[in-house]
Structure 1
Amino acid sequence: MPSFRFVTATAAAAAMLLCSALARAADDGISDSEIRIGMVNVQSGPAAGLGKGMLEGALAVFKDVNAKGGVHGRKINLVVADDGYEPNRAVDETLKMIEQEKVFSLFGYVGTPTANAVLPIVKEMDVPLVGAFTGAMTLRQPVTKQLFNVRASYDDEAETLVAHFIEKGAKSVAVFYQDDGFGTAVLSGTEKALKKRGLAVAAKGTFQRNTLAIKTGLAAMLDAKPDAVVMVGPYAPLAAFIKEARGAGLKSQLATVSFVGTDNLVGEVGKAGDGVLISQVVPFPADDNAAVAKECRDVIARHAGGAKLGFVNFEGCLTARVLVGALDRAGKTPTRAALVAAMDGMKGVDLGGVTLNLAADNHQAMNQVFLTQIKDGQISKLR
């Protein structure tokens, strides 16, 4: 059994200093010259464009900040790992980030199933996770102290799409979705939006994550012949679905949410995708009415080899700017608790055309949704 005893004043002071040092050491990833941030997302496989886009946009911002001296004199060091868009790998790589890489905060995860899988780790190890590329309500309600979402939710996107369908005269809406947490999150949002209007989902079709096995789900859509179909998945399987659906004569209005990876989808479907609606959670990249679009376009051009601003790297840029702003607000001697408090205080913060509204009881910074459409093999602004 361990024994305890009173100590002298000098020893007590030394013990207090030791405890203080241990408390500081508990917040890994901070040194006099560096802030280590961990990004675990999909860098390989049929959804790799999403992880690579988030990385490109975020890294451009961090490089720009570092070139200007960093945050309170500390350079941001982004450590990246590939989870292949698989929950088990996301868990393994997240544990490595925290226990081996000793990161200060996590950032820029991609996908509902992967983010859901690491949520218990984030809570248990009390490490902030900022800006996951997912709109799932499971990551928003109830509020998790350590988890901060920047983008609008899938409920917000589904509501916008359903409202548009109804406005254009649709009487029946089906859902073709990836059979996992992501797919069911958007399905749930669509069901809520339809229920508000006295409707239900007309038909459902599914496919498995990280596959292009869309034929069974497509058959369900061809049987139902709905006026509109909400498609839920990344660009590769949805590109396959769009091409086969059009080839099979499906006349339904097709639409999908932002997670698809717009630029990758357009690149794969070309004019075969004409008419497809895509809801977005960032302003149109070519729209200079939002100053943040021009700023992200410029920083990506400078620090990402002249890359063009698209929807995914735009989200990476915008999300990185939110993290940088919070790190700045966390002060010259940041702790994870200070970062959380700084994020909670970002209410009414204007990033240049988009406004953040975070609080202790609201960890979704934005709720704006923008509609776009593929036209002549290009993406265009609808509203």
Structure 2
Amino acid sequence: MSRLLSALGLAVGALALTHLPAAAQTKVTNEGISPTEIVIGTHQDLSGPIKVWGVPVSNGMKMAVEEVNAAGGIQGRKLRMILEDNGYDPKKAVLASQKMVERDKIFAMIGAMGSPTVLAAQDILFDAGVLQLFPLTAAEFTFKFDPSKPQERLKFNNLLPYVESTRAALKYMMEAKSFKKPCIMHQDDEYGKNVLDGFNLQLAAMKIAPASITSYKRGASDFSAQIAKMKSDGCDLVVLGTIIRETIGAMSEARKLGWDVTFLGATPTNVLEVPTLGKEAVEGLYAASGFEIPYEDTAKGKVKVWLVDYKKEFGTDANTQAIIGYNAIMTFAYYVDKAGKDLTGQKVLDALESGDKFYDIFNSPPTKFSKTDHLANTETQVQQIQKGRWVLIKDTLSF
């Protein structure tokens, strides 16, 4: 009798395990998938303070969608991309995401723009089972996930993360140049905090105290107080947790004061607009980077063709941002193709976590994810502006 009860108990236990609460499973939507198309969404800054990122990113994405569709789509399905303007405003990002999830029925959100905007809207996606893929922010919240919260498995990032890239670039600069008094000026938001964290963590590991830490409000244009403070604190290396306009503004202010200090930018400063717009003021700027920036007159092969095609279609030179946008779509297409013709959201999630590597045409480090790691890679470069162009100084860096 006791053996019968024991067996019954095991059977009941096994049955209970097969009926775990739904919260223990990652819900992935099948919305947006039909026999002929896959609907994807993105929200970019097309009108706000970082439209110099949002416009070329969206152009790169459009170019990739056209290329995929011209080749017959993915397993016979064409891509249809819904593009919304978030104006780099978290409230607009939330409204745009709600619209794309509820009305447009998107399958995945790809390459959404900005740390504060992505953070504000991501729970809308997770609640609906929509994948959040390759956002245009390298903040940790875009790839680190809590295993006890299954919906967080829906986020993946293929950008070089701010914390790790800042640490690797700072370590290289400190050791190569023997700086003694490093300091930082960072944007007062999620992006800037990540750069600050990388700065603090690396200095702590090297047992070096920061000489000065200062910040500015997102959208600020006057950096005279911050630059004056860092100069008076005797900084010999300034880490910039800035974007484009702020990078140029800070370095221009330093030049006005006659302060000849070395600047090291986080990855968002490593774009063509900084030397193009900043000119002499930004000469000598170092920056953390994920890949070498191609120039049309020196590029070769597929990259040369891509640069020429981009300029023909959009009437302007391709830049870092356009490459990132293009790669976001091409990475998505690669893993959806791996998921097979009988497409479901779960199969795409499985393909993303399979460990298969995606190689882009720009010779970037390969993209690879697993069930426990949703960040593509952390391999960092340091580049410098020399005579108006970004030049590779050191690659394959880590901390």
| TM-score bin, normalised by smaller chain | 0.7 to 0.9
Deviation of 1:289 (Å): 9.2
**Alignment match, 1:155:** 163
Which residue identity lines up with residue 390 of structure 2 in the other structure? I
* Matched residue SS, 1:177: strand
Contact map agreement 1:105 1:336 (CA 8 A) in 2: no
2:310 matches 1:300: yes
RMSD of aligned residue pairs (Cα, Å): 2.3
Provide TM-score, normalisation by structure 2: 0.83
2:86 matches 1:78: no
2:63 matches 1:60: yes
Alpha-carbon deviations, 1:208-237, whole Å to 9, x = none?
112313233223222213111111122012
Which residue identity lines up with residue 222 of structure 1 in the other structure? K
Aligned equivalents of 1:93, 1:66: Cα separation in 2: 25
Alpha-carbon deviations, 1:342-367, whole Å to 9, x = none?
11114334335331220011111122
2:248 matches 1:239: yes
Which residue identity lines up with residue 241 of structure 2 in the other structure? V
Contact map agreement 2:184 2:239 (CA 8 A) in 1: yes
**Alignment match, 1:46:** 49
Which residue identity lines up with residue 359 of structure 2 in the other structure? D
**Alignment match, 1:185:** 194
* Matched residue SS, 2:367: strand
Instruction: Map 1:330-369 to 2 at 5 A.
Output: 330-352=339-361, 353=363, 354-369=365-380
Counterpart pick for 1:194 among 198, 203, 228: 203
Structure 2 alignment gaps of length 5 or more = 1-27, 147-151, 395-399
Contact map agreement 1:374 1:380 (CA 8 A) in 2: yes
Aligned equivalents of 2:306, 2:209: Cα separation in 1: 40
Identity %: 23
* Matched residue SS, 1:91: helix
Instruction: Map 1:1-383 to 2 at 5 A.
Output: 27-142=30-145, 144-166=152-174, 167-260=176-269, 262-286=271-295, 293-294=303-304, 296-297=306-307, 300-301=310-311, 304-305=313-314, 307-352=316-361, 353=363, 354-383=365-394
Deviation of 1:294 (Å): 4.8
Structure 1 alignment gaps of length 5 or more = 1-24
Provide TM-score, normalisation by structure 1: 0.87
Deviation of 1:108 (Å): 0.6
Give the length in aligned residue pairs. Answer: 358
Deviation of 1:158 (Å): 0.7
Deviation of 1:295 (Å): 6.7
Deviation of 1:159 (Å): 1.7
Deviation of 1:134 (Å): 1.5
Aligned equivalents of 2:230, 2:97: Cα separation in 1: 38
Aligned equivalents of 1:295, 1:156: Cα separation in 2: 32
Aligned equivalents of 2:205, 2:305: Cα separation in 1: 38
Which residue identity lines up with residue 29 of structure 1 in the other structure? G
Aligned equivalents of 2:78, 2:292: Cα separation in 1: 29
Aligned equivalents of 2:368, 2:278: Cα separation in 1: 36
Aligned equivalents of 1:158, 1:75: Cα separation in 2: 38
* Matched residue SS, 1:71: coil
**Alignment match, 1:10:** none
Contact map agreement 1:204 1:217 (CA 8 A) in 2: no
Deviation of 1:182 (Å): 0.7
Contact map agreement 1:346 1:356 (CA 8 A) in 2: no
Contact map agreement 1:258 1:279 (CA 8 A) in 2: yes
Q: 1:299 to 1:74 in 2, by over 3 A?
A: farther
Which residue identity lines up with residue 245 of structure 2 in the other structure? A
